[in-house]
Amino acid sequence: MFRSGRNIVLLIVLLATAKPSEAQQDPKFSQYMFNDLYNNPAYSGVMGITNLTLLYRSQWVGYNGTFDQGGAPNSFMASFNTPIFKLKSGAGFYFVNDVIGPQNNIQFMASYAYHLAVGKGKLSFGVKAGVFGQSIDFNKYRPVNPDDPLLLNGKESQYRPDMGVGIYYKAEKYYAGLGLNHILKTQFDFNSDSLKNALANNLVLTGGYHLQLNYDIILTPYVYVISDFVSYSFDISVIGTYREKFWGGLSYRQSEAVIALVGINLLKDKSLKLGYSFDYVIQAQKAKQATSHEFYLSYNMPAVTGGGKKIIRTPRFRH
C-alpha cells in the first residue's frame, strides 16, 4: 500500500495533464469525498463509526431536452454503514434513485467488508450485491419519426442483479481505494433485441491526503477517477477544514465543470455534517445548463461499548 501521501499528490499532477475523455453511466456526485461507500464496498465500517449519509443532486438546472417533461438529471442517494468489531469487519447498504428525462435508474446494494491491520493503518476488502433497475417512460419522448419501431408505449421497467468488489486502505493522514462495479455486466432489453444494452464495468479510484498546516487548519487534496476501460474521467479537489468545524474548497471535473464546496460540522461532538456544492459548467455549455447544486447531510451515531458508555470519537481525518 501507499507509504506516504506523495503517491496521491503525484497522481493528481499526472491526471491534471492527462488527455480528456468521456465516461460512465452512473450518477456522479461532486461531494464524492464524503460518499466512499457508493464508490467502494470496502469502505463498509472502515472508519469505526456508524454513519448515515444523504445526498441530493440537481444537475444542469433548467435544462430541457427532447422530452415532454424536462430532462435535467437529478439524483438522490441514501447510505448506511457500520463496523462489526467482533468480526473485524463492517457492513452497509445504499439506495440510489437517478432520474434522467424519461429514464429512471434505481440501485439498492448491500455490502460487507473484512478489515486487517496493516502497518499503521487498516486494509479492507469488500463486496456488494443487490439490484439495479431501469425504467423508461416512452410517452415522454418527442420522436422525429412517430413510427420508429424502437419506441414502445407507456412505461417499461426491468430489474437485474448487480455486484461489485473493492479494496480500501486507511491510515491517519491518507487513504486510497479501488472499486470495481457492475462486474456482472447486467443487461436490459425491454423485450426488444434492438434495445439491448448492458451496464459497463466501472473502475473507481479514490484517494486523499490530510496536511496539517497548523493547529487550526487541515488542507486535504482529493482525487476521483472513474473508467469503463474504454474511456475515463477524473475530479481533483482541495478542501480546507478550520478547527474541525468548517470546510470549504474547490474541485475541477475533467472537461466539464469547476465546483465550489462548503460545509459545517454541528453538535457538540461534530457528528452532524451539512454540505453544499455548486457546479459551473465551463465546457459544452450549449448542450447543457450552466449550473448544478448538490446537498449533503451526514450523521455519525454515538458508539456504545458493552457497558453502555459512549465513546467520543474525533472527526479529524474523517473527511
DSSP 163-192: EEEEEEEE-SSEEEEEEEE-TT--EE-TT-
Long-range contacts of residues 100-103, Cβ cutoff 8 Å, at least 24 apart: 100/71, 100/73, 101/65, 101/67, 101/69, 101/70, 101/71, 101/73, 101/140, 102/67, 102/69, 102/136, 102/137, 102/138, 102/139, 102/140, 102/141, 103/134, 103/135, 103/136, 103/137
pLDDT at 255: 87
Flag whether 294 is in a domain. Answer: yes
Q: Please say whether the beta carbons of 9 and 81 come within 8 A.
A: no
- pLDDT confidence tier of residue 17, bands split at 50, 70 and 90: very low
How far is the C-alpha of 186 from the C-alpha of 159, rounded, in Å? 9
pLDDT at 194: 67
- Interior/surface letters 3-17, b for 16+ CB within 10 angstroms, e for the rest: eebeebbebbeebee
pLDDT digits (tens, 9 = 90+) for 213-224: 999 999 999 999
pLDDT at 206: 97
8-state DSSP, 34: G
Flag whether 45 is in a domain. Answer: yes
pLDDT at 259: 97
Average pLDDT score over residue span 34-44: 96
How far is the C-alpha of 156 from the C-alpha of 134, rounded, in Å? 8
Flag whether 264 is in a domain. Answer: no
Q: Please say whether the beta carbons of 263 and 242 come within 8 A.
A: no
pLDDT at 10: 44
DSSP 259-300: EEEEEEEESTT--EEEEEEEEEE-S-GGGS-SEEEEEEEEEE
Residues belonging to the chain: 319
pLDDT digits (tens, 9 = 90+) for 172-203: 999 999 999 999 988 888 777 767 788 889 99
Instruction: Name residue, grid cell 417499461.
Output: 156
Flag whether 318 is in a domain. Answer: no
Domain count of the fold of the chain: 1
Q: Which residues pair with 138 in a beta bridge?
A: none
Total-model pTM: 0.84
Q: Which residues pair with 129 in a beta bridge?
A: 110, 163
Of 182 and 72, more confident = 182
pLDDT at 238: 98
Q: Residue 158: count other Cβ atoms within 10 Å of its Cβ.
A: 15
Flag whether 2 is in a domain. Answer: no
pLDDT at 138: 76
Flag whether 240 is in a domain. Answer: no
Residues spanned by the domain of 199: 27-211+279-311
Flag whether 222 is in a domain. Answer: no
pLDDT at 308: 46
Res. 142: pLDDT tops 60: yes
Res. 146: pLDDT tops 80: no
Flag whether 225 is in a domain. Answer: no
